Structure 1
Amino acid sequence: MVGHRTSLASGLYEGCKAEKAIKFHFSTSLGAIKTWSPKTTFTATPRNGEPFTVEADVVLAADGIKSNARRDMLKTLNINADIIDTNQAAYRIMINRSDILDDPELLELMDGETVTRWIGEKRHIIAYPISNNTIYNMSTCQPDVNFAAAPSETYTTKGSKPAMLSVFSDFCPKIQRLLNLVPDGEVCEWKLRVHAPLPTWVHGSVALVGDACHPTLPHLAQGAAQAIEDAAVIGVLLGKLPDSSPATINKTLQVYQKIRKDRAETLVEMAAASGRELHLGKGAAKEERDRQFEELKKKGGRVPDKWADADVQKMIYGVDVMKIADEEYEEMFKSI
């Protein structure tokens, strides 16, 4: 069974609620980091309220690709690592089972246990059933048009259904029927951005986590997964602190970076490379890619779609980062 991201978020939230030591501050953003060590202090800014100062032993900044913590860290260290436009955008669509009961072909997709990818020049759609086969989840990728002139802080926009249908007008009839089921006025488009690899994820007692330090394109399905790996490693490492001094905290966060940085950045580039191969236009490279797909049907081999490639899957799912953190912490700590 495959769940939706909201199910994951809800599960994490419920798990946190069970811990009495966790206190939530909803609708509150990290404003600016004032000090990095020995105690980290930062401004918290409620949506409807006065800013207040927070002091912490450790700050794990998982504040996304628009991270204020990253902004302040890079400014403090005199580092430039700009957000990069990928010239790609995405529609995210969920089709309810009740909407396709009279369409046997679409019901077959809903009742299947497979992920389907439709690809075309500079575009693709990936889709699969979720929530006990009651919802068909679709994610697209297409050239960025609506955000081209938008300010850098704009990441989502209400899209046009006719424009969406036009972008995928040459895709198969199943896609046309699925996209036509999207209610007018409920088309939402996301801009896909990344940023240059950072020289460091750590400063003082602050560590960047997830999209704040390694945002990735969705072509490898590793965005949230890599953030979870970050969190899992940090959880193991902080449980091994020999003491709570700022120096020990900083070195431990550097161990986190040592375990995670190269792996995460490799997968970020692999996701981008997979997108480039999926989106090929006419020419020799596309012909070779299509030949490999045909060969795959007959006798297996390399998969041009890296998400489905056995060797790539082994690289992604065959590494136990928590085990590495548990077994190699002391040696890595001493080496820093």
Structure 2
Amino acid sequence: MVGHRASLAGAMYRACQAKHPNITFHFGHTLTAITSFSPPTCTITPRNDSSAPITLTPALILAADGIKSVARTTMLAALDHTAGIQDTRQAAYRIMLTRAQCAHDAELLSYFDADAVTRWIGESRHIIAYPVSGKQIYNLSTVQPDTHFAAATNATYTTKGSKETMMGVFADFAPVVRRMLDLVPEGEVCEWKLRVHEPLPTWVHGQMALVGDACHPTLPHLAQGAAQAIEDGAVLGVVLSLCPDASPESIEKTLRVYESVRKERAETLVDIAAASGRELHLGEGKAKKERDEAFARLKAGEGKVPDRWADADVQKKIYGFDCMKVAEEEFERLFGEAKVARERMEVG
């Protein structure tokens, strides 16, 4: 069974409430400033009212503030470094259909009941879809050329879409796809611009660490965007539990261990996801012909899958890696190396 990310977030919140009642949640607030990385000092501001901003002085900051990360921008400025936004020229529709919406169509319901992920591929476009939430919701994620954000500023990442336009983008796809898309209510079409940024020189500065899209935004061609953020959180949970004390130096070294375990792996998967998208979205030509022939051989039970997301070696790289085990086993060594590196930096 595949759960929806909202269900996961809700379960984590309820667990925190039950097991850690001293945690304070500031919902409806946005990180607007980091004024110091050591000691960490940040400001969060209410989004929807005129309440005063709140200044926090925590022991550490874990900044999971997304691709438009204030923490990343502030850190890079402090380090006199840049990592520009990269325009992928791709956009996505995200669609969730309920079982009730599809109750009239037996073929659509068969997709809810299948223990399978389905991908439809066309020139410069694809759709990946699968059931979630106990097979009560069918989740569809599309990728198509970006035609609606071309004149937009870098601050714009979403736009209200037109159902007619969405139907036109996928007009040559299978009839079952068009029936699914036609169930989306008018006025509820939302399109996301897909952007990434250049690899960062570091994810850690002082007692602050970047998490998730703030440091490794990933195109959706490998189904690893949220998954890699979860790995970040899992590794942080392990290393912080092993941190020997709450001193600023120990916290920073511990965050360096997190970076050592996660950075290279996450950036490798970011690159594989981008390469997968290029291969899936081929237009006419020799490369497309070879890819389609490979799919045909695979359907006949021969050859290697040309879709990296379904490739056995790639899946082993993704799912055969126990990030928590590695973090636990390597903590002492990496913590020691972080200490040596810090001492050399201070002496040099």
TM-score where L is the length of structure 1: 0.97
1:314, 1:237 → 2: CA distance? Answer: 24
1:154, 1:138 → 2: CA distance? Answer: 23
1:31, 1:107 → 2: CA distance? Answer: 45
Structure 1 position 330, deviation (Å): 0.6
Aligned residue type for 2:285: G
Q: How does 1:182-261 map to 2 (within 5 A)?
A: 182-261=184-263
2:193, 2:309 → 1: CA distance? Answer: 21
Structure 1 position 190, deviation (Å): 0.9
2:178, 2:199 → 1: CA distance? Answer: 38
2:106 aligned to which of 87, 91, 104: 104
Q: Which moved more, 1:67-76 or 1:92-101?
A: 92-101
For structure 2, the 5+ residue unaligned runs are 339-348
2:66 aligned to which of 64, 67, 90: 64
Given the superposition, is the C-alpha separation of residues 219 and 57 from structure 1 closer, same or farther in structure 2, using an over 3 Å criterion? same
Q: 1:224-259: CA deviations, max 9, x gaps?
A: 110111111111111111222211111111111111
Aligned residue type for 1:128: Y
Structure 1 position 152, deviation (Å): 1.3
Q: 1:275-305: CA deviations, max 9, x gaps?
A: 1110001111111111111121233442221
1:256, 1:141 → 2: CA distance? Answer: 32
Q: 1:12-37: CA deviations, max 9, x gaps?
A: 21122221131100111111111111
Q: How does 1:57-136 map to 2 (within 5 A)?
A: 57-136=59-138
1:268, 1:301 → 2: CA distance? Answer: 26
The CA RMSD measured in Å over matched residues stands at 1.1
Structure 1 position 104, deviation (Å): 2.2
Quote the residue 1:17 is aligned against.
Answer: 17
Structure 1 position 192, deviation (Å): 0.8
Structure 1 position 133, deviation (Å): 2.0
1:181 to 2:183 alignment: yes
1:335 to 2:348 alignment: no
Q: Which moved more, 1:196-205 or 1:91-100?
A: 91-100
Structure 1 position 309, deviation (Å): 1.1
2:97, 2:296 → 1: CA distance? Answer: 30
Q: Which moved more, 1:258-267 or 1:151-160?
A: 151-160
2:230, 2:90 → 1: CA distance? Answer: 25
Structure 1 position 88, deviation (Å): 0.6
Aligned residue type for 2:281: H
1:134, 1:24 → 2: CA distance? Answer: 30
Structure 1 position 99, deviation (Å): 2.4
1:106, 1:41 → 2: CA distance? Answer: 51
2:7, 2:56 → 1: CA distance? Answer: 30
Q: Which moved more, 1:323-332 or 1:127-136?
A: 127-136
2:287, 2:273 → 1: CA distance? Answer: 18
For structure 1, the 5+ residue unaligned runs are none
Q: How does 1:22-61 map to 2 (within 5 A)?
A: 22-37=23-38, 39-47=39-47, 48=49, 49-61=51-63
1:271, 1:226 → 2: CA distance? Answer: 12
Q: Which moved more, 1:309-318 or 1:2-11?
A: 2-11
1:58, 1:272 → 2: CA distance? Answer: 32
Quote the residue 2:345 is aligned against.
Answer: none
Structure 1 position 74, deviation (Å): 0.3
Quote the residue 2:306 is aligned against.
Answer: 304
Quote the residue 1:6 is aligned against.
Answer: 6
Structure 1 position 115, deviation (Å): 0.8
The size of the alignment, in residue pairs, is 335
1:323, 1:107 → 2: CA distance? Answer: 40
Aligned residue type for 2:70: N
1:17, 1:300 → 2: CA distance? Answer: 52
Look up the SS of the partner of 2:24 in the other structure. coil
Aligned residue type for 2:45: T
Q: How does 1:162-173 map to 2 (within 5 A)?
A: 162-173=164-175
Q: Which moved more, 1:214-223 or 1:92-101?
A: 92-101
Aligned residue type for 1:268: V
Percent identity for Structure 1 against Structure 2:
63
Aligned residue type for 1:275: G
Structure 1 position 45, deviation (Å): 1.2
Q: 1:108-156: CA deviations, max 9, x gaps?
A: 2222111110001110011112222222211100011111111211111
